[in-house]
């Protein structure tokens, strides 16, 4: 019954395909415009938002767009973006993970405590950065598993279970750190993770590789599709996109490589932060998983129509548990980055605005709260917005009251855009 399909090399000839003759660039842009008008707005609002933010803060404070501050924003956004990668997966399912903030703190504090104890306790002397990081990630992934397991086996809303997690893991962090205490990180690798920069040449190499691999994949896909007789992205469009990406990439590399030391007497500070590389690599990995694998496809399917997924034979509960594990894993990674930024873990770790910033990042970036719609890259774009606003308001020395109000408004705007575009898509048949 299971006969193997030998796809013949000759292209598919069909009436359906005949109506799919190659598109001219103009037709392609036209189709794109139709998609935008029907509510599939993608990353459009965010690019506009970033321009507005840049203009407002630069007018208010000349330091906002300096290379030094831009790199600060990148370092500020990294922890948020990495945790938000996991949140995107959870939101794609149509669920939410309110515990992500404190789970990240559990990751940070586990690493910090183990590293501290390894200095005092000879039996823990084997602990070093390269094994403590996997251990911390294992712990937070297990926490994600626990959440997913409880949600699926008792059929509870993720909202409630992870709300319980929010409280409980906050408590665990308090117990480990001790009242009002701080655990300092001595280990040089973990300590410098957030501040380490690569030699300037690497900015060009890494960003170049990133864009080149995107371009090569894009061209290869289009080629293979054309050979198979399927509609492909027009070459001029691909070249256009690549040129735009290369220009942005070159600009970013250039900014990274400007000396940002405050005085000319100080040793030069330049180059790409290591955590920016981590952020980029995780972006590629998680995007591949979401968009190019069965697992990712099932995440979208469960978020789009759980019943359809179940009838298609997808093990829905398993996918849900796995996604909460991804969320735990990414929270752990973000927690270590955040701990490294402060070079310590204190009792307030994982608290404050962190969770809201993470959810805001995912949603602002264009991932729907209603499930099934969104991309991993939205976490980066959203985190950039959130970190820019936070950073800009920091420069302006506004009170934390104002900060909260502004961040709340940005989140609200994102959710409203999401709801509107959703409505647009439904009526756009």
Binding site for other proteins (CB under 8 A): 1-5, 7, 12, 14-17, 19-20, 38, 224-225, 228-231, 288-289, 292-295, 297-298, 300-301, 303-305, 307-314, 372-373, 425-426, 428-429
Q: Nearer to other proteins by C-beta: 343 or 422?
A: 422
CB contact set of 28 (below 8 Å; sequence gap of 6+): 233, 234, 237
Q: How far is CA 349 from CA 100, 189, 335, in A?
A: 12, 20, 9
Q: Nearer to other proteins by C-beta: 27 or 352?
A: 27
DSSP lists the bridge partners of residue 346 as 182
For the bound state, the minimum distance from the C-beta of residue 206 to other proteins, rounded and expressed in Å, comes to: 23
> Distance between CA atoms of 261 and 225, rounded to whole angstroms?
49
> Distance between CA atoms of 15 and 401, rounded to whole angstroms?
62
Q: Nearer to other proteins by C-beta: 399 or 427?
A: 427
> Distance between CA atoms of 177 and 113, rounded to whole angstroms?
8
Q: Nearer to other proteins by C-beta: 102 or 298?
A: 298
> Distance between CA atoms of 25 and 41, rounded to whole angstroms?
19
For the bound state, the minimum distance from the C-beta of residue 136 to other proteins, rounded and expressed in Å, comes to: 23
For the bound state, the minimum distance from the C-beta of residue 384 to other proteins, rounded and expressed in Å, comes to: 25
C-alpha dihedral over 203, 66, 357, 196, to 10 degrees?
Answer: 40
Q: Nearer to other proteins by C-beta: 186 or 305?
A: 305
Among positive and negative, which fits the CA dihedral 172, 177, 182, 187? Answer: negative
How many residues in the chain?
Answer: 429
For the bound state, the minimum distance from the C-beta of residue 40 to other proteins, rounded and expressed in Å, comes to: 8
For the bound state, the minimum distance from the C-beta of residue 425 to other proteins, rounded and expressed in Å, comes to: 6
Q: Nearer to other proteins by C-beta: 305 or 353?
A: 305
Q: Nearer to other proteins by C-beta: 94 or 249?
A: 94
For the bound state, the minimum distance from the C-beta of residue 423 to other proteins, rounded and expressed in Å, comes to: 12
CB-hemisphere CA count at 13 Å for 151? 30
> Distance between CA atoms of 417 and 88, rounded to whole angstroms?
17
For the bound state, the minimum distance from the C-beta of residue 323 to other proteins, rounded and expressed in Å, comes to: 13
């Amino acid at each position: 019954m299971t006969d193997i399909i030998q796809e013949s090399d000759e292209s598919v000839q069909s009436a359906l395909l005949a109506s799919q003759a190659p598109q001219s660039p103009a037709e392609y842009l036209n189709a794109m415009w139709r998609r935008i008008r029907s509510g599939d707005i993608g990353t459009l609002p965010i690019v506009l938002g970033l321009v507005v933010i840049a203009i407002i803060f630069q007018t208010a404070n000349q330091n906002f767009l300096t290379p030094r501050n831009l790199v600060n924003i990148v370092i500020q956004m990294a922890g948020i973006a990495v945790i938000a990668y996991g949140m995107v997966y959870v939101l794609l399912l149509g669920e939410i993970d309110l515990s992500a903030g404190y789970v990240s703190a559990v990751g940070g504090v586990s690493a910090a405590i183990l590293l501290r104890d390894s200095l005092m306790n000879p039996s823990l002397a084997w602990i070093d950065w390269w094994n403590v990081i996997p251990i911390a990630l294992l712990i937070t992934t297990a926490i994600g598993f626990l959440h997913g397991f409880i949600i699926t086996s008792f059929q509870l809303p993720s909202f409630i279970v992870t709300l319980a997690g929010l409280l409980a893991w906050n408590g665990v962090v308090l117990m480990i750190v001790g009242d009002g205490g701080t655990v300092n990180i001595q280990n040089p690798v973990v300590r410098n993770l957030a501040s380490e920069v690569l030699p300037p040449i690497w900015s060009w190499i890494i960003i170049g590789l990133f864009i080149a691999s995107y371009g090569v994949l894009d061209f290869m896909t289009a080629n293979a599709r054309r050979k198979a007789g399927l509609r492909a992205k027009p070459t001029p469009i691909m070249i256009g996109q690549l040129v735009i990406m290369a220009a942005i990439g070159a600009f970013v590399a250039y900014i990274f490589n400007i000396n940002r030391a405050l005085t000319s007497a100080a040793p030069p500070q330049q180059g790409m932060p290591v955590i920016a590389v981590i952020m980029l690599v995780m972006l590629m990995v998680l995007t591949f998983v979401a968009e190019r694998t069965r697992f990712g496809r099932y995440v979208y399917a469960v978020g789009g129509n759980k019943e359809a997924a179940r009838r298609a034979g997808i093990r829905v509960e398993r996918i849900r548990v796995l996604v909460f594990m991804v969320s735990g894993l990414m929270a752990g990674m973000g927690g270590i980055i955040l701990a490294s930024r402060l070079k310590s873990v204190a009792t307030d770790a994982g608290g404050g605005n962190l969770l809201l910033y993470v959810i805001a990042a995912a949603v602002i970036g264009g991932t729907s709260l209603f499930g099934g719609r969104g991309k991993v890259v939205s976490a980066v774009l959203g985190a950039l917005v959130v970190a820019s606003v936070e950073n800009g308001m920091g420069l302006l020395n506004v009170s934390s009251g104002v900060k909260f109000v502004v961040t709340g408004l940005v989140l609200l705007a994102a959710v409203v855009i999401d709801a509107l575009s959703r409505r647009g898509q439904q009526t756009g048949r």
